[in-house]
């Protein structure tokens, strides 16, 4: 009896991005390669009493382009973003979901916080007028799995449907789990990634109370500066990154354009502290991901690093890369696109997986902007300030979350 497990090849055939740099994949990628910052003063609420008055908001995003007017009050922004990005990813992939194939297409979308703005709004209504004022749509507008639920409803996908809530690793875990679902044959395609819409008074105030955010109020566009010696915290961003992952033979049969192949996924826990990072978890997650792909560390050409712009986190990730890659750490490139998009929290892994896929597809490295003063403790090639053409066969995307949860994804330049 042959018990050998057949691992099906998995490829990326569609990308949908909503970010502080643009409401489409093309706009986002163009902004990244141009080195633009999506960070500016908050426009959504009065910040006069806040210690931090800026964030990376989406610009000109109109939910009515993606959702019927009667549905708006039933959703929070994290759901709007997921629907918009999923619709773009599906259209980009050319995958048509029909009655015949619907059970083979699944949805798996993560979010770290979910409907934060709905919680705040409905709580205020209750305090002002009692529980009778609470909207009947409060719960479905705020719970994390409704991003996946609505995308499934809108697309007609009837396969696996799930969600992750692993803080800043949520989107990466959703993608990695989807990769494994297809690899083992439980779906033909997955619409997957991460989304977040948490630029709210409580969110900004809460992260500021933890001293996690940059307080560079005098110059918001320069506030997110991963690996720069002057970094002082991260910048909250919002948006979504959704990919269509597809079984290779299925994609080939229908003549799909293939951006890259997904070849590795790893997940670990620090088992150390709720917010402070630890070297061992990130080191092991990178090694596990490469082992899953069956490659050596010296084969990796680029890492889209977690790189949040926090003093401790950036040093920890730098040291983890050195520990995992040895001398090769100084030969690979490692940039943080959070320098331009801010940190999308649970949406970061989805957005950055999309960016890493485009990096492999276009053979172009996005920069780490605002890199002015080198930090001696962060001494790798962080692609400072300018994009760079490069030969990239394997690219890694790192995502680390509060609670010590870590995820990494490995993408490979597509080869038939």
The torsion angles phi and psi of 198, rounded to 5 degrees, stand at -115, 30
Report CA Rg, the chain: 20
Alpha helices in 160-276 (DSSP H): 170-183, 201-209, 248-253
Residue tagged 């001494």 (tokens):
379
- Answer for the pair 380, 327: CB distance below 8 angstroms, yes or no: no
For residue 173, count other CB atoms closer than 10 A to its CB.
Answer: 28
Residue tagged active-site, from 328, 343, 362, 378: 343
Residue 224, helix vs strand vs coil: coil
The set of residues, in sequence order, having a beta carbon less than 8 Å from that of 60 and lying 6+ positions away, is 23
Angle at which helices 25-34 and 348-362 cross, to 10°: 70
Query: Catalytic: 192?
Result: no
Catalytic-labelled residue, pool 248, 306, 362, 378: 306
Distances (CA, A) of 1 to 4, 5, 6, 183: 9, 12, 14, 21
Specify whether the backbone of 240 is left (phi greater than 0), alpha (psi in -120 to 50) or beta.
beta
SS3 content of the chain, % helix, strand, coil (to 5): 40, 20, 40
Q: Tell me whether residue 306 is one of the annotated catalytic residues.
A: yes
Strands (E), 103-154: 105-110
Residue 168 annotated to the active site: yes
CA distance 401 to 161: 23
Burial (0-12, 13-18, 19+ Cβ within 10 Å), 175: buried
**Are 148 and 162 a contacting pair, CB within 8 Å?**
yes
Q: What are phi and psi of 405, to 5 degrees?
A: -95, 130
Q: Whose CA is closest to 364, among 302, 291, 308?
A: 302
* Start-to-end Cα distance in the chain: 31
- The active-site residue, picked from 168, 173, 250, 378, is 168
Q: Is 64 helix (H, G, I), strand (E, B) or coil?
A: helix
Cite the active site residues: 168, 306, 343
């Amino acid at each position: 009896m042959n018990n050998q497990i057949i691992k099906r090849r998995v490829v990326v055939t569609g990308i949908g991005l909503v970010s502080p740099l643009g409401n489409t994949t093309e706009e986002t990628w163009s902004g990244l390669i141009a080195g633009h910052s999506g960070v500016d003063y908050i426009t959504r609420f009065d910040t006069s009493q806040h210690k931090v008055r800026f964030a990376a908001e989406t610009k000109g995003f109109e939910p009515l382009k993606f959702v019927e007017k009667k549905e708006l009050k039933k959703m929070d922004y994290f759901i709007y973003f997921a629907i918009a990005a999923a619709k773009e990813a599906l259209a980009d992939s050319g995958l048509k979901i029909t009655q015949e194939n619907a059970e083979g297409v699944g949805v798996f979308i993560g979010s770290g916080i979910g409907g934060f703005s709905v919680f705040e709004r409905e709580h205020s209504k209750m305090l002002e007028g009692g529980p009778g004022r609470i909207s009947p749509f409060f719960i479905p507008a705020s719970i994390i799995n409704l991003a996946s639920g609505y995308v499934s409803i809108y697309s007609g996908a009837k396969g696996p449907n799930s969600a992750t809530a692993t803080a800043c690793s949520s989107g990466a875990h959703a993608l990695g789990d989807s990769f494994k679902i297809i690899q083992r044959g439980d779906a033909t395609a997955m619409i997957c990634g991460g989304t977040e819409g948490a630029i709210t008074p409580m969110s900004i105030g809460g992260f500021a109370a933890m001293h996690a955010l940059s307080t560079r109020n005098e110059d918001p566009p320069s506030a997110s500066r991963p690996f720069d010696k002057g970094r002082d915290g991260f910048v909250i961003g919002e948006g979504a990154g959704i990919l269509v992952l597809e079984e290779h033979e299925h994609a080939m049969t229908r003549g799909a354009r293939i951006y890259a192949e997904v070849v590795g996924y790893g997940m670990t826990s620090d088992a150390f502290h709720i917010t402070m990072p630890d070297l061992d978890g990130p080191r092991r997650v990178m090694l596990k991901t490469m082992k899953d792909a069956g490659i050596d560390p010296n084969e990796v050409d680029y890492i889209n690093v977690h790189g949040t712009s926090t003093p401790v986190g950036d040093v920890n990730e730098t040291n983890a890369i050195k520990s995992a890659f040895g001398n090769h750490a100084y030969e690979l490139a490692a940039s943080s696109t959070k320098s331009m998009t801010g940190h999308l929290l649970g949406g970061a892994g989805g957005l950055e997986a999309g960016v890493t896929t485009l990096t492999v597809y276009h053979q172009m490295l996005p920069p780490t902007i605002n890199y002015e003063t080198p930090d001696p403790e962060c001494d790798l090639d962080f692609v400072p300030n300018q994009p760079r053409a490069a030969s990239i066969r394997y690219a890694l995307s790192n995502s680390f979350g509060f609670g010590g949860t870590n995820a990494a994804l490995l993408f490979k330049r597509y080869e038939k």
